[in-house]
Amino acid sequence: MSGESKPWRPKLILASASVRRLELLQQIGLDPDALIPADLDETPNKGELPRALAVRLANEKAAAAARIAAERPELEGAFLLAADTVVAVGRRIFPKCEIVDEAAQCLRLLSGRVHRVYTGVTLVTPKGGKRHRLVETRVRFKRFSSEDMEAYLASGEWRGKAGGYAIQGLAGAFVVKLIGSYTSVVGLPLNETVSLLAGEGFPAHLFWLNRV
């Protein structure tokens, strides 16, 4: 989305309004040609497991964005990426916190415990094919002191975040151990995303040339 001259490549759509997902793609040299966020009800279905929710929402976001992209001739032949991240302890799915009491409840449940972060990624190819990947990461937080809780809640950084935290922000200070993909916890597992793209012929490495 920048104005710099770059080698030719197929167009890429990111089906998200997430700043962090855009920044992750840009980190590996991929600047999407369009951002098409999908406005979906992300409420889990009754009895739906966290990993199933991440996969379903990534698929639904991809489908919704693909319908919009089909009406834009300039995006014909584009690859489309969608992702969804779910934070859970056991079967319990944590919400994207919007009020302080909600965030406080999430943080109390995460304090001193291991939780799991699931990110589903869906790639729609120019020919309409779909490929999927689910990445699971285990994260252990320190036991929070009252000062930790009060200061973090006062920061407001929890707002709109699944589980009430963003690992790339202040909550990075809470992480004792992480097993899996850090970028998946941020919002988009880069290794798996590049693998999906490369597997369908998208020249992701092209942008690595002449970057310095």
Catalytic residues: 84
- DSSP calls for 33-63: SEE-------PPPTT--HHHHHHHHHHHHHH
10 Å CB burial of residue 47 (0-12, 13-18, 19+) is exposed
For 63-75, give one letter per residue: b (16+ CB within 10 A) or e: bbbbebbeeeeeb
